[in-house]
Chain A
Amino acid sequence: MEPFERYRPIIDDFEAFLAACERPLGNAVRVNTIKASPERATAALEEDDVAYEQAEWNPRVLRLETDSPGSTWTSFHGFTHGQEEVSAVPPVVLDPQPGERVWDCCAAPGGKATQIAALMDDRGTVVANDNNLGRISALRFNAERLGATSLAVTNDDARNYSMKRFPFDEFDRTLVDAPCSCEGTIRKNPDALDNWSEGHIDTIAGIQKGILRRAIQTTREGGTVVYSTCTFAPEENEAVVQHAIDEEDCRVVDFDLEMEHAPGLTEWRDEAFDSTLEQAARIYPHHNDTGGFFVAKLEVTA
Protein backbone atom coordinates (compact mmCIF):
# COMPACT_ATOMS: atom_id res chain seq x y z
CA MET A 1 0.00 0.00 0.00
CA GLU A 2 3.10 2.24 0.08
CA PRO A 3 2.30 3.95 -3.25
CA PHE A 4 -0.99 5.17 -1.77
CA GLU A 5 0.81 7.38 0.79
CA ARG A 6 0.96 10.18 -1.74
CA TYR A 7 -2.86 10.34 -1.63
CA ARG A 8 -2.95 11.03 2.12
CA PRO A 9 -3.46 14.81 1.55
CA ILE A 10 -6.40 14.34 -0.85
CA ILE A 11 -8.43 11.46 0.63
CA ASP A 12 -10.83 12.09 3.52
CA ASP A 13 -10.47 9.52 6.31
CA PHE A 14 -7.29 8.10 4.81
CA GLU A 15 -7.05 5.33 7.45
CA ALA A 16 -10.54 4.06 6.52
CA PHE A 17 -9.46 4.16 2.87
CA LEU A 18 -6.38 2.02 3.59
CA ALA A 19 -8.40 -0.40 5.71
CA ALA A 20 -10.98 -0.81 2.91
CA CYS A 21 -8.22 -1.46 0.36
CA GLU A 22 -7.06 -4.41 2.47
CA ARG A 23 -10.48 -6.07 2.61
CA PRO A 24 -11.36 -8.46 -0.23
CA LEU A 25 -14.25 -7.53 -2.48
CA GLY A 26 -17.59 -9.36 -2.56
CA ASN A 27 -19.24 -10.77 -5.68
CA ALA A 28 -21.35 -8.36 -7.70
CA VAL A 29 -23.31 -9.03 -10.87
CA ARG A 30 -25.23 -6.82 -13.26
CA VAL A 31 -28.66 -7.81 -14.53
CA ASN A 32 -28.49 -8.13 -18.32
CA THR A 33 -31.81 -6.62 -19.37
CA ILE A 34 -31.34 -7.85 -22.96
CA LYS A 35 -32.29 -11.27 -21.57
CA ALA A 36 -34.23 -10.69 -18.36
CA SER A 37 -35.86 -7.90 -16.38
CA PRO A 38 -34.46 -7.24 -12.89
CA GLU A 39 -37.67 -8.81 -11.53
CA ARG A 40 -37.21 -12.03 -13.50
CA ALA A 41 -33.49 -12.22 -12.75
CA THR A 42 -33.99 -11.77 -9.02
CA ALA A 43 -36.93 -14.23 -8.99
CA ALA A 44 -34.66 -16.78 -10.72
CA LEU A 45 -32.00 -16.24 -8.05
CA GLU A 46 -34.63 -16.74 -5.34
CA GLU A 47 -35.83 -19.92 -7.04
CA ASP A 48 -32.27 -21.25 -6.72
CA ASP A 49 -31.80 -20.03 -3.15
CA VAL A 50 -29.01 -17.61 -4.08
CA ALA A 51 -29.17 -14.67 -1.67
CA TYR A 52 -28.63 -11.18 -3.09
CA GLU A 53 -28.85 -7.52 -2.22
CA GLN A 54 -29.77 -4.83 -4.77
CA ALA A 55 -27.45 -1.82 -4.85
CA GLU A 56 -29.30 1.28 -3.68
CA TRP A 57 -27.91 3.46 -6.46
CA ASN A 58 -28.85 0.99 -9.20
CA PRO A 59 -31.37 -1.89 -8.82
CA ARG A 60 -29.73 -3.67 -11.78
CA VAL A 61 -26.57 -4.21 -9.75
CA LEU A 62 -26.77 -7.12 -7.31
CA ARG A 63 -24.40 -8.22 -4.56
CA LEU A 64 -24.55 -12.02 -4.47
CA GLU A 65 -23.93 -14.11 -1.42
CA THR A 66 -22.19 -16.95 -3.22
CA ASP A 67 -18.57 -17.84 -3.88
CA SER A 68 -19.28 -18.94 -7.45
CA PRO A 69 -21.51 -16.37 -9.17
CA GLY A 70 -20.73 -18.02 -12.53
CA SER A 71 -22.31 -21.31 -11.41
CA THR A 72 -25.88 -20.06 -11.24
CA TRP A 73 -28.76 -20.55 -13.64
CA THR A 74 -29.01 -16.77 -14.02
CA SER A 75 -25.40 -16.70 -15.24
CA PHE A 76 -25.86 -19.69 -17.58
CA HIS A 77 -28.85 -18.00 -19.20
CA GLY A 78 -27.06 -14.66 -19.40
CA PHE A 79 -29.57 -12.98 -17.07
CA THR A 80 -26.61 -11.81 -14.99
CA HIS A 81 -23.01 -10.92 -15.73
CA GLY A 82 -20.23 -10.79 -13.16
CA GLN A 83 -19.17 -7.16 -13.05
CA GLU A 84 -17.77 -5.17 -10.19
CA GLU A 85 -20.33 -2.76 -8.78
CA VAL A 86 -18.31 0.37 -9.49
CA SER A 87 -17.60 -0.81 -13.07
CA ALA A 88 -21.29 -0.38 -13.79
CA VAL A 89 -21.05 3.38 -13.13
CA PRO A 90 -19.51 4.75 -16.40
CA PRO A 91 -22.20 3.36 -18.77
CA VAL A 92 -24.90 4.82 -16.50
CA VAL A 93 -23.17 8.22 -16.62
CA LEU A 94 -22.83 7.88 -20.42
CA ASP A 95 -26.65 7.44 -20.54
CA PRO A 96 -26.88 6.00 -24.09
CA GLN A 97 -30.31 6.01 -25.77
CA PRO A 98 -31.93 3.39 -28.05
CA GLY A 99 -31.03 3.94 -31.70
CA GLU A 100 -27.84 5.92 -31.06
CA ARG A 101 -24.32 5.26 -32.34
CA VAL A 102 -22.00 4.64 -29.45
CA TRP A 103 -18.30 3.85 -29.30
CA ASP A 104 -16.71 1.95 -26.43
CA CYS A 105 -13.11 2.45 -27.47
CA CYS A 106 -11.37 0.28 -24.83
CA ALA A 107 -14.07 -2.36 -24.56
CA ALA A 108 -12.57 -5.77 -23.68
CA PRO A 109 -13.67 -7.89 -21.91
CA GLY A 110 -17.05 -6.31 -22.65
CA GLY A 111 -18.86 -5.80 -19.35
CA LYS A 112 -19.44 -2.11 -20.03
CA ALA A 113 -20.04 -2.53 -23.79
CA THR A 114 -22.81 -5.05 -23.17
CA GLN A 115 -24.19 -2.81 -20.43
CA ILE A 116 -24.33 0.03 -22.99
CA ALA A 117 -26.18 -2.27 -25.45
CA ALA A 118 -28.64 -3.21 -22.70
CA LEU A 119 -29.24 0.44 -21.75
CA MET A 120 -30.10 1.03 -25.45
CA ASP A 121 -32.54 -1.94 -25.44
CA ASP A 122 -30.10 -3.54 -27.91
CA ARG A 123 -31.25 -1.04 -30.57
CA GLY A 124 -28.72 1.18 -32.35
CA THR A 125 -25.03 0.56 -32.96
CA VAL A 126 -22.45 -0.11 -30.26
CA VAL A 127 -18.93 -0.29 -31.62
CA ALA A 128 -16.82 -2.19 -29.12
CA ASN A 129 -13.13 -1.72 -29.86
CA ASP A 130 -10.00 -3.02 -28.20
CA ASN A 131 -6.39 -2.89 -29.33
CA ASN A 132 -5.54 -6.25 -27.74
CA LEU A 133 -6.45 -9.17 -30.00
CA GLY A 134 -6.12 -11.64 -27.13
CA ARG A 135 -8.79 -9.81 -25.15
CA ILE A 136 -11.11 -9.58 -28.15
CA SER A 137 -12.08 -13.24 -27.78
CA ALA A 138 -13.33 -12.58 -24.23
CA LEU A 139 -15.26 -9.58 -25.53
CA ARG A 140 -16.89 -11.66 -28.26
CA PHE A 141 -17.68 -14.50 -25.86
CA ASN A 142 -19.42 -12.16 -23.42
CA ALA A 143 -21.32 -10.30 -26.14
CA GLU A 144 -22.75 -13.53 -27.53
CA ARG A 145 -23.48 -15.03 -24.11
CA LEU A 146 -25.38 -11.91 -23.15
CA GLY A 147 -27.27 -11.88 -26.46
CA ALA A 148 -26.20 -8.41 -27.65
CA THR A 149 -27.06 -8.10 -31.36
CA SER A 150 -26.31 -4.37 -31.73
CA LEU A 151 -22.60 -4.75 -30.99
CA ALA A 152 -19.85 -4.58 -33.63
CA VAL A 153 -16.34 -5.59 -32.54
CA THR A 154 -13.19 -3.95 -33.93
CA ASN A 155 -9.50 -4.48 -33.14
CA ASP A 156 -7.57 -1.24 -33.49
CA ASP A 157 -5.57 1.39 -31.65
CA ALA A 158 -8.20 3.89 -30.47
CA ARG A 159 -5.68 6.79 -30.78
CA ASN A 160 -5.87 6.82 -34.58
CA TYR A 161 -9.22 5.08 -35.06
CA SER A 162 -10.59 5.22 -38.59
CA MET A 163 -14.32 5.81 -39.13
CA LYS A 164 -14.12 4.74 -42.77
CA ARG A 165 -15.44 1.21 -42.17
CA PHE A 166 -18.88 2.41 -41.03
CA PRO A 167 -21.74 4.07 -42.94
CA PHE A 168 -21.59 7.04 -40.53
CA ASP A 169 -18.73 9.37 -39.64
CA GLU A 170 -19.37 10.29 -36.03
CA PHE A 171 -20.74 8.82 -32.82
CA ASP A 172 -23.43 10.23 -30.53
CA ARG A 173 -21.58 9.07 -27.44
CA THR A 174 -18.24 7.55 -26.57
CA LEU A 175 -16.99 5.75 -23.50
CA VAL A 176 -13.27 5.97 -22.81
CA ASP A 177 -12.73 3.44 -20.05
CA ALA A 178 -9.01 3.88 -20.37
CA PRO A 179 -6.23 1.39 -19.71
CA CYS A 180 -4.72 2.58 -16.43
CA SER A 181 -2.48 1.70 -13.51
CA CYS A 182 -5.48 -0.07 -11.90
CA GLU A 183 -4.77 1.09 -8.35
CA GLY A 184 -8.49 0.92 -7.60
CA THR A 185 -8.60 -2.83 -8.27
CA ILE A 186 -6.34 -3.64 -5.30
CA ARG A 187 -9.16 -5.39 -3.40
CA LYS A 188 -9.79 -7.76 -6.31
CA ASN A 189 -6.19 -8.06 -7.42
CA PRO A 190 -3.57 -7.88 -4.62
CA ASP A 191 -0.81 -7.72 -7.27
CA ALA A 192 -2.15 -4.47 -8.72
CA LEU A 193 0.65 -2.37 -7.19
CA ASP A 194 3.53 -4.73 -8.02
CA ASN A 195 4.72 -2.77 -11.06
CA TRP A 196 3.74 0.63 -9.71
CA SER A 197 6.01 3.59 -10.44
CA GLU A 198 5.46 7.23 -11.25
CA GLY A 199 7.26 6.65 -14.56
CA HIS A 200 4.74 3.93 -15.43
CA ILE A 201 1.89 6.30 -14.60
CA ASP A 202 3.34 9.00 -16.86
CA THR A 203 3.62 6.54 -19.75
CA ILE A 204 0.00 5.41 -19.38
CA ALA A 205 -1.19 9.02 -19.06
CA GLY A 206 0.30 9.75 -22.48
CA ILE A 207 -1.72 6.90 -24.03
CA GLN A 208 -4.86 8.00 -22.19
CA LYS A 209 -4.55 11.55 -23.56
CA GLY A 210 -4.28 10.21 -27.11
CA ILE A 211 -7.34 7.98 -26.74
CA LEU A 212 -9.50 10.67 -25.12
CA ARG A 213 -8.61 13.21 -27.82
CA ARG A 214 -9.59 10.78 -30.59
CA ALA A 215 -12.84 9.98 -28.74
CA ILE A 216 -13.77 13.67 -28.71
CA GLN A 217 -12.85 14.06 -32.40
CA THR A 218 -15.12 11.15 -33.41
CA THR A 219 -18.11 12.30 -31.34
CA ARG A 220 -20.65 14.76 -32.80
CA GLU A 221 -21.08 18.30 -31.53
CA GLY A 222 -23.43 18.15 -28.55
CA GLY A 223 -22.53 14.50 -28.01
CA THR A 224 -21.23 12.98 -24.81
CA VAL A 225 -17.86 11.49 -23.93
CA VAL A 226 -17.34 9.76 -20.60
CA TYR A 227 -13.78 9.27 -19.37
CA SER A 228 -13.20 6.69 -16.66
CA THR A 229 -10.36 4.79 -15.02
CA CYS A 230 -10.06 2.37 -12.11
CA THR A 231 -7.18 4.30 -10.58
CA PHE A 232 -6.65 7.14 -8.11
CA ALA A 233 -3.66 8.82 -9.79
CA PRO A 234 -4.49 12.46 -10.69
CA GLU A 235 -1.95 12.22 -13.55
CA GLU A 236 -4.25 9.63 -15.18
CA ASN A 237 -7.52 11.32 -14.24
CA GLU A 238 -7.91 15.09 -13.84
CA ALA A 239 -4.68 15.81 -15.76
CA VAL A 240 -5.88 13.78 -18.75
CA VAL A 241 -9.26 15.54 -18.80
CA GLN A 242 -7.49 18.90 -18.40
CA HIS A 243 -5.38 18.06 -21.46
CA ALA A 244 -8.56 17.22 -23.41
CA ILE A 245 -10.31 20.51 -22.56
CA ASP A 246 -7.11 22.40 -23.46
CA GLU A 247 -6.65 20.70 -26.83
CA GLU A 248 -10.14 19.76 -28.08
CA ASP A 249 -13.61 21.35 -28.33
CA CYS A 250 -15.29 20.09 -25.19
CA ARG A 251 -16.26 20.99 -21.64
CA VAL A 252 -16.70 19.11 -18.39
CA VAL A 253 -20.35 18.73 -17.35
CA ASP A 254 -22.12 17.73 -14.17
CA PHE A 255 -23.98 14.45 -13.61
CA ASP A 256 -26.01 12.79 -10.87
CA LEU A 257 -24.52 9.81 -9.12
CA GLU A 258 -26.57 8.26 -6.33
CA MET A 259 -23.46 6.85 -4.73
CA GLU A 260 -21.09 8.35 -2.20
CA HIS A 261 -18.09 9.97 -3.92
CA ALA A 262 -15.59 12.81 -3.67
CA PRO A 263 -15.33 15.64 -6.25
CA GLY A 264 -12.57 15.76 -8.83
CA LEU A 265 -9.39 17.61 -7.84
CA THR A 266 -8.57 21.18 -8.88
CA GLU A 267 -4.91 20.85 -7.98
CA TRP A 268 -2.30 18.16 -7.57
CA ARG A 269 1.27 18.91 -6.53
CA ASP A 270 2.36 21.87 -8.72
CA GLU A 271 -0.45 21.59 -11.24
CA ALA A 272 -3.78 23.44 -11.17
CA PHE A 273 -6.85 22.08 -12.96
CA ASP A 274 -9.91 23.88 -14.26
CA SER A 275 -12.57 24.40 -11.59
CA THR A 276 -15.05 22.44 -13.72
CA LEU A 277 -13.14 19.29 -12.82
CA GLU A 278 -14.90 19.37 -9.46
CA GLN A 279 -17.85 17.89 -11.38
CA ALA A 280 -15.92 14.66 -11.92
CA ALA A 281 -16.36 11.84 -9.39
CA ARG A 282 -13.71 10.06 -7.35
CA ILE A 283 -15.15 6.87 -5.88
CA TYR A 284 -13.03 5.44 -3.08
CA PRO A 285 -13.25 1.89 -1.65
CA HIS A 286 -14.33 3.11 1.81
CA HIS A 287 -17.22 5.14 0.39
CA ASN A 288 -19.52 2.32 -0.77
CA ASP A 289 -17.43 -0.79 0.01
CA THR A 290 -16.48 -1.15 -3.69
CA GLY A 291 -13.36 -0.85 -5.81
CA GLY A 292 -11.99 2.59 -6.71
CA PHE A 293 -13.00 4.60 -9.79
CA PHE A 294 -12.75 7.97 -11.48
CA VAL A 295 -15.47 9.23 -13.84
CA ALA A 296 -15.73 12.50 -15.77
CA LYS A 297 -18.45 13.50 -18.23
CA LEU A 298 -17.66 15.74 -21.20
CA GLU A 299 -19.87 17.47 -23.74
CA VAL A 300 -18.44 17.98 -27.22
CA THR A 301 -18.70 21.63 -28.26
CA ALA A 302 -18.20 23.48 -31.54
Chain B
Amino acid sequence: MSDDSSADLRKNDGQQFGRLPETDADRTVEGRVSRAAVVDYFEDRFAIPPGTFDDYTFWEKGAGKIWLYSGEADSPLEIEAIGMTCLRTRQEHWKPTTDFVQRFGAHASECVIDLDREAARRFAAGEDQELEWDGDWGYLIAAHTVVGEREPLGIGLYVHGELRSMVPKGRQREL
Protein backbone atom coordinates (compact mmCIF):
# COMPACT_ATOMS: atom_id res chain seq x y z
CA MET B 1 0.00 0.00 0.00
CA SER B 2 1.39 3.45 -0.87
CA ASP B 3 1.87 6.18 1.72
CA ASP B 4 -0.63 8.35 -0.16
CA SER B 5 -3.53 5.94 0.31
CA SER B 6 -2.70 5.02 3.92
CA ALA B 7 -3.21 8.67 4.87
CA ASP B 8 -6.87 8.28 3.90
CA LEU B 9 -7.45 5.21 6.06
CA ARG B 10 -9.47 5.43 9.28
CA LYS B 11 -8.25 3.89 12.51
CA ASN B 12 -9.92 0.74 13.83
CA ASP B 13 -12.67 1.54 16.35
CA GLY B 14 -12.66 -1.02 19.15
CA GLN B 15 -16.21 -0.08 20.18
CA GLN B 16 -17.87 -1.23 16.98
CA PHE B 17 -17.96 -4.04 14.49
CA GLY B 18 -16.79 -3.21 10.99
CA ARG B 19 -17.39 -5.59 8.13
CA LEU B 20 -14.21 -6.76 6.41
CA PRO B 21 -13.62 -5.30 2.93
CA GLU B 22 -13.96 -7.84 0.12
CA THR B 23 -10.35 -7.40 -1.01
CA ASP B 24 -7.27 -5.51 0.13
CA ALA B 25 -7.99 -2.88 -2.55
CA ASP B 26 -11.35 -2.07 -0.85
CA ARG B 27 -9.71 -1.41 2.50
CA THR B 28 -10.79 1.79 4.31
CA VAL B 29 -9.50 0.99 7.81
CA GLU B 30 -5.80 0.90 8.55
CA GLY B 31 -4.43 -2.61 9.10
CA ARG B 32 -7.77 -4.30 8.54
CA VAL B 33 -7.54 -7.60 6.65
CA SER B 34 -9.92 -8.43 3.81
CA ARG B 35 -12.46 -11.21 3.53
CA ALA B 36 -10.44 -12.65 0.65
CA ALA B 37 -7.30 -12.77 2.83
CA VAL B 38 -9.17 -14.59 5.62
CA VAL B 39 -10.77 -17.15 3.32
CA ASP B 40 -7.43 -17.67 1.53
CA TYR B 41 -5.69 -18.23 4.85
CA PHE B 42 -8.13 -20.97 5.88
CA GLU B 43 -7.68 -22.60 2.46
CA ASP B 44 -3.89 -22.26 2.29
CA ARG B 45 -3.22 -23.42 5.82
CA PHE B 46 -5.95 -26.00 6.45
CA ALA B 47 -7.38 -26.71 2.96
CA ILE B 48 -10.83 -25.58 4.15
CA PRO B 49 -12.79 -25.02 0.89
CA PRO B 50 -13.56 -21.28 0.40
CA GLY B 51 -17.21 -22.13 -0.34
CA THR B 52 -17.58 -23.16 3.31
CA PHE B 53 -17.97 -19.46 4.12
CA ASP B 54 -20.32 -18.40 1.31
CA ASP B 55 -23.22 -17.77 3.72
CA TYR B 56 -21.11 -15.88 6.25
CA THR B 57 -19.76 -12.38 6.70
CA PHE B 58 -16.52 -11.50 8.47
CA TRP B 59 -16.13 -8.57 10.89
CA GLU B 60 -13.46 -6.91 12.99
CA LYS B 61 -13.88 -5.47 16.49
CA GLY B 62 -10.76 -4.77 18.45
CA ALA B 63 -7.48 -4.71 16.57
CA GLY B 64 -7.15 -7.89 14.56
CA LYS B 65 -9.95 -9.87 16.23
CA ILE B 66 -12.04 -11.34 13.41
CA TRP B 67 -15.62 -12.54 13.88
CA LEU B 68 -17.72 -14.76 11.64
CA TYR B 69 -21.47 -14.18 11.44
CA SER B 70 -24.39 -15.63 9.47
CA GLY B 71 -27.15 -13.20 10.54
CA GLU B 72 -28.21 -9.76 9.26
CA ALA B 73 -26.40 -6.59 10.36
CA ASP B 74 -25.36 -3.18 9.09
CA SER B 75 -21.76 -2.05 9.23
CA PRO B 76 -20.66 -0.41 11.44
CA LEU B 77 -22.51 -1.96 14.34
CA GLU B 78 -22.26 -1.08 18.02
CA ILE B 79 -23.27 -4.19 19.93
CA GLU B 80 -21.57 -6.72 22.22
CA ALA B 81 -20.95 -9.62 19.87
CA ILE B 82 -21.93 -11.13 16.53
CA GLY B 83 -21.50 -14.79 15.66
CA MET B 84 -18.19 -16.08 16.91
CA THR B 85 -14.57 -14.97 17.09
CA CYS B 86 -12.67 -16.97 14.50
CA LEU B 87 -9.20 -15.53 13.96
CA ARG B 88 -6.51 -13.24 15.38
CA THR B 89 -4.71 -11.22 12.70
CA ARG B 90 -2.29 -8.31 13.22
CA GLN B 91 0.36 -10.63 14.61
CA GLU B 92 3.11 -12.41 12.70
CA HIS B 93 1.27 -15.74 12.59
CA TRP B 94 -2.49 -15.64 12.35
CA LYS B 95 -4.22 -17.72 14.99
CA PRO B 96 -7.66 -19.34 14.68
CA THR B 97 -9.78 -19.76 17.81
CA THR B 98 -10.60 -23.06 19.50
CA ASP B 99 -14.33 -22.42 19.09
CA PHE B 100 -13.95 -21.77 15.36
CA VAL B 101 -11.90 -24.92 14.89
CA GLN B 102 -14.43 -27.01 16.80
CA ARG B 103 -17.21 -25.65 14.58
CA PHE B 104 -15.51 -25.59 11.15
CA GLY B 105 -12.38 -27.74 11.57
CA ALA B 106 -14.11 -30.81 10.16
CA HIS B 107 -13.82 -29.11 6.73
CA ALA B 108 -10.02 -29.08 7.04
CA SER B 109 -7.79 -31.69 5.43
CA GLU B 110 -4.33 -30.22 6.05
CA CYS B 111 -2.46 -29.33 9.21
CA VAL B 112 -4.72 -31.57 11.28
CA ILE B 113 -2.99 -33.71 13.88
CA ASP B 114 -4.92 -36.83 14.93
CA LEU B 115 -4.55 -37.69 18.59
CA ASP B 116 -5.37 -40.92 20.40
CA ARG B 117 -7.78 -40.70 23.31
CA GLU B 118 -5.12 -40.23 25.97
CA ALA B 119 -3.36 -37.48 23.99
CA ALA B 120 -6.76 -35.87 23.34
CA ARG B 121 -7.45 -35.92 27.06
CA ARG B 122 -4.16 -34.13 27.78
CA PHE B 123 -4.85 -31.61 25.01
CA ALA B 124 -8.33 -30.82 26.40
CA ALA B 125 -6.76 -30.32 29.84
CA GLY B 126 -4.43 -27.68 28.36
CA GLU B 127 -1.23 -29.75 28.61
CA ASP B 128 1.69 -29.58 26.20
CA GLN B 129 3.04 -32.88 24.88
CA GLU B 130 5.93 -34.21 22.80
CA LEU B 131 4.64 -35.67 19.53
CA GLU B 132 5.95 -36.61 16.09
CA TRP B 133 4.70 -34.39 13.26
CA ASP B 134 6.30 -34.16 9.84
CA GLY B 135 4.17 -31.29 8.51
CA ASP B 136 4.52 -27.52 8.86
CA TRP B 137 5.24 -26.06 12.26
CA GLY B 138 2.85 -23.44 13.60
CA TYR B 139 -0.84 -23.50 14.41
CA LEU B 140 -2.51 -26.86 13.85
CA ILE B 141 -5.95 -28.33 14.34
CA ALA B 142 -5.84 -31.08 16.95
CA ALA B 143 -8.48 -33.76 16.48
CA HIS B 144 -9.47 -37.19 17.71
CA THR B 145 -11.99 -39.80 16.64
CA VAL B 146 -15.48 -39.72 18.15
CA VAL B 147 -17.92 -42.45 17.12
CA GLY B 148 -15.91 -43.26 14.00
CA GLU B 149 -15.50 -39.66 12.76
CA ARG B 150 -12.73 -37.11 13.12
CA GLU B 151 -13.76 -34.45 15.65
CA PRO B 152 -11.65 -31.29 16.09
CA LEU B 153 -10.62 -30.52 19.67
CA GLY B 154 -9.12 -27.09 19.20
CA ILE B 155 -6.08 -25.20 18.05
CA GLY B 156 -2.57 -26.28 18.96
CA LEU B 157 0.86 -24.77 18.32
CA TYR B 158 3.46 -27.22 17.01
CA VAL B 159 7.14 -26.28 17.48
CA HIS B 160 10.34 -28.23 18.26
CA GLY B 161 8.67 -31.63 18.54
CA GLU B 162 6.04 -30.34 20.94
CA LEU B 163 2.30 -29.84 20.56
CA ARG B 164 1.17 -26.98 22.78
CA SER B 165 -2.51 -26.86 23.63
CA MET B 166 -4.05 -23.44 22.91
CA VAL B 167 -7.39 -24.36 24.52
CA PRO B 168 -8.34 -21.28 26.58
CA LYS B 169 -8.43 -21.76 30.36
CA GLY B 170 -12.19 -21.49 30.57
CA ARG B 171 -12.60 -24.20 27.93
CA GLN B 172 -10.10 -26.66 29.42
CA ARG B 173 -11.58 -29.82 30.95
CA GLU B 174 -10.32 -32.80 32.93
CA LEU B 175 -11.90 -35.69 31.06
Taking beta carbons and an 8 Å cutoff, which residues of A are in contact with B?
34-35, 40, 43-44, 47, 70-73, 75-78, 101, 122-126, 136, 140-141, 143-145, 147-155, 165-168
Contact = CB atoms under 8 A, between A and B. Distances in A.
Given A144-B99, A152-B69, A73 B146 contact: yes
26 contacts: A35-B103, A44-B146, A47-B147, A70-B173, A76-B153, A76-B173, A77-B151, A136-B80, A140-B81, A143-B81, A144-B85, A147-B84, A147-B99, A149-B68, A149-B71, A149-B84, A151-B82, A152-B69, A152-B81, A152-B82, A152-B83, A153-B79, A153-B80, A165-B74, A165-B78, A166-B72
Interface in B60-90: 68-74, 77-85
B56 A35 contact: no
Contact of B175 (A72, A141, A153): A72
Interface string B28-64: 0000000000000000000000000001100000000
Contacts of A101: 72
B79 A141 contact: no
Contact of A143 (B84, B102, B171): B84
Interface residues of B, number: 33
Contacts of A149: 56, 68-71, 83-84, 103
A143 B70 CA distance: 13
Given A71-B175, A153-B80, A166 B74 contact: yes
A144 B71 contact: no
B84 A167 contact: no
Interface in B134-175: 146-147, 149, 151, 153, 170-171, 173-175
A165 B79 contact: yes
B112 interface: no
Contact of B72 (A122, A125, A141): A125
A155 B156 CA distance: 33
B71 to A, nearest CB: 4
Residue with the highest number of chain A CB atoms closer than 10 Å, among B72, B81, B149: B81
Residue with the highest number of chain A CB atoms closer than 10 Å, among B73, B124, B174: B73
B147 to A, nearest CB: 4
Contacts of A44: 146-147
A47 B120 CA distance: 15
B13 to A, nearest CB: 15
A145 to B, nearest CB: 6
A78 B77 contact: no
Contact of B73 (A122, A124, A167): A167
Given A76-B173, A77-B102, A126-B71, A40 B147 contact: yes
Contacts of A73: 146, 175
Given A122-B70, A144-B84, A76 B79 contact: no
Nearest to A124: B71
Contacts of B56: 149
B102 to A, nearest CB: 6
A155 B80 contact: yes
Given A43-B147, A71-B173, A166-B74, 5 more contacts: A71-B174, A72-B175, A75-B173, A76-B175, A152-B82
A166 B82 CA distance: 12
A120 to B, nearest CB: 10
Contacts of B69: 149-150, 152
B81 A145 contact: no
A174 to B, nearest CB: 15
A151 B171 CA distance: 20
A168 B72 contact: yes
Contacts of B55: 123
Nearest to B77: A165
Contacts of A151: 71, 81-83
